[in-house]
A and B are shown apart, each in its own frame.
Chain A
Amino acid sequence: MTLRDDWEMVVGLEVHTELKTNTKMFCGCANAFGAAPNTNVCPVCLGLPGSLPVLNVRAVELAMAIGTALHSTISPSTFHRKNYFYPDMPKDFQISQYDLPINAGGYLDLPDGSRVSIERAHLEEDTGKSTHLGGSGRIHGADRSLVDYNRSGVPLVEIVSGPDIRSSAQARTYAAELRGILIATGASDGRMEEGSMRIDANVSVRHSGDALGTRCEIKNLNSLRSLVRAIDFEAARQVELLEGGATVRQETRHWDENLGATSTMRVKEEADDYRYFREPDLVDLVPDQAWQDRVRDALKPMPAERRAVLTQRLQDPAPALLDALEVVIDLGLDPYVIAALDAAVAPDLALARAANEIASDLEHVENLSIESYVATLNMEQSGALSATQAKTVLGEILANGGEPALIAQSKGFERLASGALGEVVAQLIEENPDEWSRYSAGDEKLAQFFIGQVMKLTKGQANGKDVIAELQARR
């Protein structure tokens, strides 16, 4: 969406990502989603009196990996306490980084050629989770709340962009590219629906060239779709206010996905006095050059680099392939695709089976070797397997492992002998005279009808190209 007249939106994003560690940031409790309430808790993450935090080295290294990927300066850093009372925060302060974050500065180049600056990417701990009972289930109108501290102390990195984003589309591209980087660094699984990546958007509007306007912060956007809609709504709301002669009040706003609108969550109060001070129970974090180098050397290629390599291999890919290409890059499946291209598999097939079949069972991707992927696609391309059979074989390998040829054999995926296929086609022509006469008259669309019917009768054992050959032979 573009704003009317000469209004311009100015957007900065704060992305919180949960780090994919085995344990929490300051204790040895499991960092796991979906456990029974208050089972992954100990004296430290419950804030019991006398307990003390000890920093998880893996969280530090993942934060450094993110910083490295974002071209940040990895810096000597400290931890602070952010003091405020809230029931989901067991110590009534949050351990966070304040004036000295581990990653300072940096930038992210987007596929559209634009660059968004990064102000900082710092470590902090997550809070517990409240469920509101009574009323609508939202906080307002509830009569009591229940708190689960399993998430309390899960390590987070907060990545703060500069106010460089000028459209909701660019915000989306930034968030998607950042998500790809977080996955590539191994820092995050990028599952926005589970809350492992949450976005706050700072939105203001101005006439192009003017100084920055008053901004509102939209909290906890948990899908790219919400991000785009919320930014568009909020920018339009602010334009409308300003054009009506009103002013924008600096506040925190809530996005309601069902209403498609933002609403006031809390006004910035004078009482917001977090009394930051150095966390006396933790010591300084000073990563030396050798440690930084180890983290850098362990980094896998980032999405931008992998996208460039794959795009080059595909030699000016057709526009229809671009979505599949993005999925492949996003999920890190490009090694499969490149190996298939090396084995002369057609680009569309090499991309499609990865972007669809592998992507749909990503959890088991380690069951499928690159060799098996290539072998299956070769069998499909040569006609030894139909498309449906090839998909079944890939699905089976992902679920339970195994060799493509053996699985095809055990499932009886022999190519239908042409005699047998001929019989089936003849039977269908007899049963569907209208469709046959239209096909015979040159309506090629009807070929798909016959292929579908053949597949049904043969339970997918036929090859589409063979069916067309049979049909043409009888026309």
Chain B
Amino acid sequence: MPSLRREDVAHVAKLARLTMSESELDKFTEQLGQVLDHASDMNALDLEGVVATAHPFGLINVVREDERRPSLDHDVVIAMAPDAEDGRFAVPRILGEAP
């Protein structure tokens, strides 16, 4: 398995929207590296042909009818907002378009 580098941790922090100080980067690189090293025991296995399990039980086709259920009261919704304007959630300027 690839070993974890400091720049990987910095990249991941950016993806996860977390700010890391220099010392935090060092600490996280070491700690996460330990967990990944421990996980290297999986690497010794021949898992060719083994199916991945994402769900414990194989339920299929769980659906609901296309029927209305009550929405939340608008005032309750907006009361949760850290900032709101005109019945909408207000955020500081957005720098880029959605992907």
Contact = CB atoms under 8 A, between A and B. Distances in A.
Contacts of A287: 61
Interface string A265-288: 110000111110110101111110
A37 B88 contact: yes
A85 B17 contact: yes
A49 B7 CA distance: 32
Instruction: Describe B's contact surface by its main secondary structure.
Output: loop
Interface in B79-95: 85-94
Contact of A145 (B66, B87, B91): B91
Contacts of B96: 139, 266
Interface string B55-69: 100111111111111
B91 A147 contact: yes
B38 interface: no
B93 A144 contact: yes
A39 B55 CA distance: 34
Nearest to A148: B88
Interface string B29-52: 000000000000000000000000
B71 A41 contact: yes
B65 to A, nearest CB: 6
Interface residues of B, number: 37
B94 A130 contact: yes
Interface string A408-426: 0000000000000000000
Given A131-B88, A143-B93, A273 B64 contact: no
Given A57-B66, A85-B17, A40 B93 contact: no
Contact of A29 (B59, B69, B89): B69
Contacts of A85: 17
B5 interface: no
A458 B54 CA distance: 77
Interface residues of A, number: 62
Nearest to A277: B54
A43 interface: yes
A89 B66 CA distance: 23
B1 interface: no
Contact of A30 (B62, B63, B68, B90): B68
B77 A38 contact: yes
Given A139-B97, A271-B15, A57 B64 contact: yes
Nearest to A26: B64
Nearest to B53: A278
Contact of A28 (B62, B67, B97): B67
B55 A41 contact: no
B29 to A, nearest CB: 19
22 contacts: A23-B68, A30-B71, A38-B87, A39-B71, A41-B77, A46-B72, A54-B64, A55-B62, A57-B63, A60-B63, A86-B99, A139-B94, A139-B96, A142-B93, A143-B92, A144-B90, A145-B94, A273-B15, A283-B58, A284-B61, A285-B61, A287-B61
| 4 closest cross-chain pairs (CB), A and B | A28-B69, A58-B66, A146-B88, A57-B63
Interface of B: 14-15, 17, 54-55, 58-72, 74, 77-78, 85-94, 96-99
